[in-house]
Structure 1
Amino acid sequence: MAGAISHGVIAKLTQMITQEAAEEAAMVCNFTRDFEWLKKRLRTLSGGLKYADSLSTQDEPIKTWLHDVRDVAWDAEDIMEECAVRPLYTSSVTQSCVCNPGELLFRYKMGKRIQQVKERIRSITKDGEVLKLFRDLAPSNSEQPSSSAARMAVWKENSLLPSDSHPVAIEPKIQHLLSLINEPNVRVIAVVGMGGGGKTFLLQNFFERVKQRYEHSIWLPISQSYSVHKLQCDLASHVGDLEGRVKDVSDERAAELIHASLQGKRSLIVLDDVWRAAREDNIIRRLGLPIGVDSQCKIIVTTRNRVVGQNLDGRIYEMELLSKEESWQLFCAYAFPNYEGNSPLHQLKVVAHEVEKQCGRLPLALKTIGASLCGCTDSSEWNSKLSQLKESELHPEKEADNPDYRIIDILRLSYDSLPAALKPCFSYLSFFSEDEAINSEYLINLWIAEGFIPQGEDQLDVAWGYLHQLVKLCLVEVQDNTIDLIKYCKIHDLLLDLAVDISKENRCIFGVQDAFSSVKRILLGRKEIDDMVIVQNKTSCPRCLRTLSLYKNPLEKIEADFMSPMRLLRVLDLSHTQISTLPHYVGKQKLLRVLNLSYTRFKEVPICVRSLRSLFLLDLSFCEQLQRLPTWISELECLQHLNIHDCHDGLPSHMPKGIAELASLRVLRSDHLRLSIEDDELLKLEDVAKFTRLQELSLIVKHDKELKSVEDGILGQLLKLRHLSIASNFSRELHLPQNISALNDLQTLSVQNFAFPSWVCTLTNLRQLILLSCVCSDYPALEAMPNLIELRLYGNESCREVPKAFGRSSGFSKLRLLEILDFPLLEELPDLEDGAMAVLKIFGLIGCPRVKKVPEGLDRLRGLKELSYGFSGTDQFRDGLSEGGEVWNKIKAQNPHVSIRG
């Protein structure tokens, strides 16, 4: 396992030495010969790592050797990066001159550290020779694609992911739960089963099936160390104005308020993954959920512990394992998707049988092991996997303490099968908490900051490709992928346990009780630690620390002494804390690339940030007291991603002119920018043309001068734009100029208060289109757009119809989501011909009160998952779609899984 980490670091380090990083470092430090020596020795070590990684078992000497390689590779990488960023912090030739005392001291220290690294590499190389690890190996076809084009092909091939896993034998289980929940005397159901047995997947499907029947349908994930009050607040957020009333009261008072609010109301509440078994820790009672005789509340609990179900005094539903035939069916769905049962595939079936024997036919293990073999046609690869399964170590003493240990051990085989480039990406998922919706964009930026992604112009695309591969291999779950990019993802609890184990092996700690010395990452997210705990550990915080995460903790400050030893941080996450100041030592973090201050109390950007010349992601979103950006923001020359949305209302009007000098800026995520007309110190629309690399922009046009700039083609110069949101606050009708159609890479477009652009259909790469309050007398042929996945239409007082062409056969061939909102005069929706909207999953009709009938053809949409009609339709329309109504029955007869709700 350490070999994968070491191999990734060495690959990156060799690339750095080969590319411009070494040239920049040599210009400052003149260590060219040392770098050439390192490059040759690292290639030798890389061969040893590949051989060690190929061994099915590794004895202690080899494990020790792998850890030594990892440590020296990390130290060498630190030296290289410190040298490479040195030019960012030397403002003149004089400062970088060897006669400068500061520069002379820097070179002396670097030279000494390089010599120490060289001595260690010599020793490690000798040890590797003794262990006979340096052997010629055939190139692995599992490594990441070498060329940019190949990487892009991997990403685009998998960009449209399946929306859910392959359901096997789930319908009988759903019907069983339905029969239980319909029993009038059943208030609590405990679904009991092993970890990875499919409890959550079953309940997710069941929840979607029945949630529209209840006034309140609430899903609460329960962590191992849950906070009752936080759960109460989460629950209250789904019930009217209850959240504000329970926020600042005791748990007991909050329970009373929740009980009173839910009593007598039809409610469905799922408590997913409850761990604690003690009778006095009855989570239902502590939350305040009503379960008395008069209650109409139904509560379903999933748990791995049967005692939990017994203590909750509910009906226990034992989660049945898959049969042998079902196991084979599920395994083949992932290992061999085109298998139809016509070939015996003997070796593959033996592998599936061994997975069944080793882990009890659990779906999670069958999926991950199967996915790791997907695409393999060589029986030797199947036999190799079979050997690994049979030879995997048994640890009865560990399994006694943790029943899930054996399953995690099996899942580790899927990790071992990963290409070296993907292994650190997977282990970094330990950064996040169980049941957490992970922002995928933030995740891949963390990978980049840590150096897991090869450098290059297409770095972001490669990172997205890695994430798609982890999804394809069932190591990451898709949380939300309405459009083709995965907005949110999550990781199964058992896979998270595996990621944590791997991270601990690679010097990462997850609690204040762990030793701080000689670690690379400290991840204390959501641990509810206080300021004093941080201060008390200040003396042992290591200089070599790369990641410090304190997010979602009630911290109000960090002492300077705590930060002072840290000089090699790449990631600092203080989001969701009460912090309003930063110690000046943060400015000493010359390698810091990601600084997350979102959801904090900063009134201004801390001055120490000015010194962070390597920073490429700065997140200030949801800093509600932040009113303006500093003029020195332009000095952050490496900044690529700036989040400033949902801050103080005045921030979009106070953008400093210097921000246009950020030549590397790719994403400027903000509320609609209200740019200046007269103030020469603030950003103007003509300055926006300087953002030649910008991929995301949101602005509002409010003056004639700005409108003329738009019409003259200012936005058409931003050829890299992928996401554009543009609005107008003019009272007269405006036409969005056609020169925007030159933005060939545009994937999402949001247009507000402009006449409907007839040229929008020329944007053939467009995936998401949002049209707000647009004049819609002349709709273009949107239904013919070849790649449109998401369409939201917001009407106005004059809009009376949606084109009948929308229902044309073969229209909207890739559309997954269609929402029609706020059309007060709309009376009719177009009927759907056979073949129209063939892959539509979500259809929403909101704020359209005059619609008289449901369009014909909705029942033919077999992939439809959700049909909603809030504040829409006449009585006749709503009666037909109510449960048991004529249209409801017709749709359900063809598609029983669809959720229909008003």
Structure 2
Amino acid sequence: MVDAVVSFVVQRLGELLVEQVIFLQGVRDEVQWLRNKLEYMLCFLEDAEEKQDDGDRRIQKWISDIRDVAYDAEDIIDNFIVEVEEGRTPKNMGLKGWFEKYLCICSKQANLVKQATLYDIGTKINSLKNRLEEIQHNQEIFKIGYKGDGREDLARRNDRVNQLRRERSYEDNELVIGFNKDVDLLMSKLVKEDPHRWVVLIVGMGGLGKTTIARKLYNTKSLKEQFDFYAWVSVSKDYSIQDLLQRTIKSFKNHTNKEEFEMLEKMKEEDLESYLRDFLGGHRYLVVFDDVWDVEAWKILRRGLPDNENGSRVIITTRQKVVAEYLNEKTYVHELPFLEEVKSWELFCKKVLPNCSEVDDKNSCIPQHLEGMAREMVRKCHGLPLAIIVLGGVLSRKDPDEWPKVQTHMWRHVREDNIHVQHILALSFNDLPRHLKSCFLYLGLFPEDFEIDADKLYRLWVAEGFIKLDEDSEEIAAEYLKELCDGSLLQVAKKKWRRIISCRIHDLLRDFAIKKSKELNFLQFFDGALVLNSRRLAFHCGFQRFVSLDHSNLRLRTFHRFVLENESAEIAQLAFVCKKLRLLRVLNLWGRPLNPFQGREQNRLTEAIGKLIHLRYFGLNRTLIHDVSVSHRS
């Protein structure tokens, strides 16, 4: 994810070199050097971020050092632009400088070049250059960039993920609760009398139960008896084509002797495809490809899977809805829903108290004094089976007196108690392309269960610089949102025709986004204290406390105020904040109305906002401020 941060800063430095030709004279070479060096570091960040998962703190420190330099570079440039635009005269400019500035004795260009020196921008960039030289030296020491080693590490971790998936699918096979109708519907599609090969696609977010349902279908004896051969293959995000074909053949054959094993190991991809096609020729088969991330895997596998026109069936589980669009097969797509509240409660009770046989919405076997608390925790899972199962497992090992502690930090307990949960969340995030990672993490700023307006989200993404502002910005943003929804990282709340109107993020994914963002200093929720190098700040309460603190060293670019509690705010306080946070790109106010104000206060607010020269988004929602006309110079 740090690569997205650095990439954004590199892009900004490039734009500055083009757009701010005049004021950068005198330090242009330094800015160009800084941009080139950060761009060079990008080449190694992907490998470093793969290796840091192994717990090497030196590499973790190396990554955070690059992130800090990138942030500092952005701060230097943005602060200098503010100084120049405001026309502030340094104290040490002297009488001659004063005349040059205000009486125009020298040209504006010469004046700006002099300001570049006086504001020490060159000195500050040179300091960053020294830090980057040290970072590059450490990169060579830690052998970051040797992709061969990185691939081996990735393969080892991927094997572990596949093992976890296989263990999990058997372990939870008995807990197919709330999906009986889905299982029956899918079974009817698999057994219907149609000689053509059909692909049944089960789509849903990680932890929704796709693998569990596929395993339930696959293990149904009456279904298997209708096929000559059957196989189960875990695909996962990172796969080798040769290995995938070998495992498919071995699963169909069920048992391979030593000679067959050695023969398969020596075969090339084309030979394996031909072997699989010949082996299945004329036979009716059932195969499950679990956890498919892209359509390329299917394109290769289908060449080895003949359509014998005798009723063969393929089941694919995936988080990526887009896979269905490119299958080029007779396909039934089943989007797995979240559990209803009654079924969620039933699943939870059976996990907490497995020996309690009579469980329904009225008879839960949960002690009466704990039931209200337990139901509230289950509701927060929003019907996600994996979250409910892990939560039930956590509470089943806790003394009832400890349940309130679990409730206080519920998602942390769920995340840390089960490595499978961490893998599911991390895999979905790591699979995102660079441009979508920032867009996804940004959603952590919104409160729990918040219905996010798509049009406002588009404008926020553009204002943050995640999407370049031009005539196609809205369409690009809409495509980004669709990709996140199709990848099961977001849920569509409202839709009109084919366009998403609003969306939501599941609390478990939101918690993951917040945790990841804190690691990167990407965002912070105000809890009474300030993190000086944080870039984005969201309030759900505590605005009065924030106003009383020292803001002089804050580097905030984004200020979101979601008032969910009965907390008032004064216009004068907002104007004060605007004066202090001079680098803001986004100022978003949502919630309770601001206290009534007089014309003088409105003028102060207007003046303060007008001086936020980096401001790209100013949101007023339910604040009773209807007109803030500002003269904005940026």
Identify which range, 429-438 or 543-552, moves more after superposition: 543-552
- Aligned counterpart for 1:494 among listed residues 502, 508, 512: 508
The whole-number CA distance in structure 1 between the counterparts of 2:19 and 2:459 is: 24
Shift of 1:608: 2.4
Deviations 1:660-715 (A, max 9, x none): xxxxxxxxxxxxxxxxxxxxxxxxxxxxxxxxxxxxxxxxxxxxxxxxxxxxxxxx
Please name the residue that 2:66 is paired with. 69
Please name the residue that 1:443 is paired with. 457
What secondary structure is seen at the aligned counterpart in 2 of 1:443? helix
CA contact (8 A) 2:23 2:113 kept: no
Please name the residue that 1:510 is paired with. 525
The whole-number CA distance in structure 1 between the counterparts of 2:73 and 2:424 is: 34
Please name the residue that 1:27 is paired with. 22
Deviations 1:5-43 (A, max 9, x none): x21232233333444x21333411312211221232122
Is 2:216 the partner of 1:325? yes
Shift of 1:348: 2.5
Name the CA shift for 1:479/1:541 in 2 (closer, same or farther; >3 Å).
Answer: farther
Deviations 1:844-864 (A, max 9, x none): xxxxxxxxxxxxxxxxxxxxx
Shift of 1:379: 8.5
CA contact (8 A) 2:591 2:622 kept: no
The whole-number CA distance in structure 1 between the counterparts of 2:491 and 2:623 is: 30
Is 2:352 the partner of 1:465? no
Please name the residue that 1:655 is paired with. none
* Letter of the 1:574 counterpart: L
The whole-number CA distance in structure 1 between the counterparts of 2:552 and 2:119 is: 25
CA contact (8 A) 1:581 1:602 kept: no
| Identity within the alignment, % | 23
Name the CA shift for 1:493/1:629 in 2 (closer, same or farther; >3 Å).
Answer: closer
- Aligned counterpart for 2:49 among listed residues 36, 48, 53: 53
Shift of 1:489: 0.4
Name the CA shift for 1:621/1:435 in 2 (closer, same or farther; >3 Å).
Answer: closer
The whole-number CA distance in structure 2 between the counterparts of 1:524 and 1:109 is: 35
Please name the residue that 2:179 is paired with. 169
Map residues 335-734 of structure 1 onto 2, 5 A cutoff: 344=231, 346-348=233-235, 370=291, 372-373=293-294, 375-377=296-298, 402-405=413-416, 406=418, 407-454=421-468, 456-507=470-521, 508-525=523-540, 527=541, 529=542, 531=544, 533-536=545-548, 538-539=549-550, 542-552=553-563, 554-557=567-570, 558=573, 565-580=580-595, 606-620=606-620, 622=622, 624=624, 626=626, 630=629, 633=630, 635-636=631-632
The whole-number CA distance in structure 1 between the counterparts of 2:576 and 2:133 is: 36
- Aligned counterpart for 2:138 among listed residues 121, 127, 133: 127
Please name the residue that 1:184 is paired with. none
Shift of 1:412: 1.4
CA contact (8 A) 1:543 1:568 kept: no
Please name the residue that 1:647 is paired with. none
The whole-number CA distance in structure 2 between the counterparts of 1:45 and 1:123 is: 12
Name the CA shift for 1:106/1:377 in 2 (closer, same or farther; >3 Å).
Answer: farther
The whole-number CA distance in structure 1 between the counterparts of 2:103 and 2:229 is: 73
Name the CA shift for 1:581/1:612 in 2 (closer, same or farther; >3 Å).
Answer: farther
* Letter of the 2:618 counterpart: L
CA contact (8 A) 2:460 2:617 kept: no
The whole-number CA distance in structure 2 between the counterparts of 1:510 and 1:625 is: 25
Name the CA shift for 1:103/1:57 in 2 (closer, same or farther; >3 Å).
Answer: same
The whole-number CA distance in structure 2 between the counterparts of 1:196 and 1:112 is: 49
Q: TM-score, normalised by structure 2?
A: 0.54
What secondary structure is seen at the aligned counterpart in 1 of 2:20? helix
The whole-number CA distance in structure 2 between the counterparts of 1:484 and 1:62 is: 44
* Letter of the 1:466 counterpart: Y
Shift of 1:78: 2.9
Please name the residue that 1:36 is paired with. 32
What secondary structure is seen at the aligned counterpart in 2 of 1:442? helix
The whole-number CA distance in structure 2 between the counterparts of 1:34 and 1:581 is: 49
The whole-number CA distance in structure 2 between the counterparts of 1:104 and 1:535 is: 32
* Letter of the 1:550 counterpart: R
What secondary structure is seen at the aligned counterpart in 2 of 1:325? helix
Count of residue pairs brought into register by the alignment: 408
The whole-number CA distance in structure 2 between the counterparts of 1:540 and 1:85 is: 17
CA contact (8 A) 1:372 1:473 kept: no
Shift of 1:480: 0.7
* Letter of the 1:524 counterpart: F
CA contact (8 A) 1:543 1:567 kept: no
Name the CA shift for 1:499/1:374 in 2 (closer, same or farther; >3 Å).
Answer: farther
CA contact (8 A) 1:52 1:62 kept: yes
Name the CA shift for 1:483/1:47 in 2 (closer, same or farther; >3 Å).
Answer: same
Name the CA shift for 1:46/1:93 in 2 (closer, same or farther; >3 Å).
Answer: farther
Unaligned 5+ segments in structure 1 are: 141-166, 176-194, 202-319, 330-339, 353-368, 386-393, 584-600, 639-902
Name the CA shift for 1:410/1:54 in 2 (closer, same or farther; >3 Å).
Answer: same
Shift of 1:445: 2.2
Q: TM-score, normalised by structure 1?
A: 0.39
Name the CA shift for 1:429/1:625 in 2 (closer, same or farther; >3 Å).
Answer: closer
* Letter of the 1:510 counterpart: F
Shift of 1:491: 0.5
Name the CA shift for 1:79/1:484 in 2 (closer, same or farther; >3 Å).
Answer: farther
What secondary structure is seen at the aligned counterpart in 2 of 1:549? strand
* Letter of the 1:61 counterpart: R
Name the CA shift for 1:629/1:197 in 2 (closer, same or farther; >3 Å).
Answer: closer
Please name the residue that 1:7 is paired with. 3
RMSD over aligned Cα, in angstroms?
5.0
Identify which range, 467-476 or 560-569, moves more after superposition: 560-569
Deviations 1:222-258 (A, max 9, x none): xxxxxxxxxxxxxxxxxxxxxxxxxxxxxxxxxxxxx
Deviations 1:531-558 (A, max 9, x none): 2x2234x126642122222222523122
The whole-number CA distance in structure 2 between the counterparts of 1:516 and 1:582 is: 31
Please name the residue that 1:587 is paired with. none
The whole-number CA distance in structure 1 between the counterparts of 2:59 and 2:232 is: 36
Please name the residue that 2:125 is paired with. 114
Identify which range, 57-66 or 514-523, moves more after superposition: 514-523
Name the CA shift for 1:494/1:620 in 2 (closer, same or farther; >3 Å).
Answer: closer
The whole-number CA distance in structure 2 between the counterparts of 1:519 and 1:341 is: 60
What secondary structure is seen at the aligned counterpart in 1 of 2:492? strand
Name the CA shift for 1:566/1:342 in 2 (closer, same or farther; >3 Å).
Answer: farther
The whole-number CA distance in structure 1 between the counterparts of 2:119 and 2:236 is: 62
Shift of 1:174: 12
Shift of 1:612: 3.5
The whole-number CA distance in structure 2 between the counterparts of 1:51 and 1:378 is: 28
Name the CA shift for 1:610/1:168 in 2 (closer, same or farther; >3 Å).
Answer: same
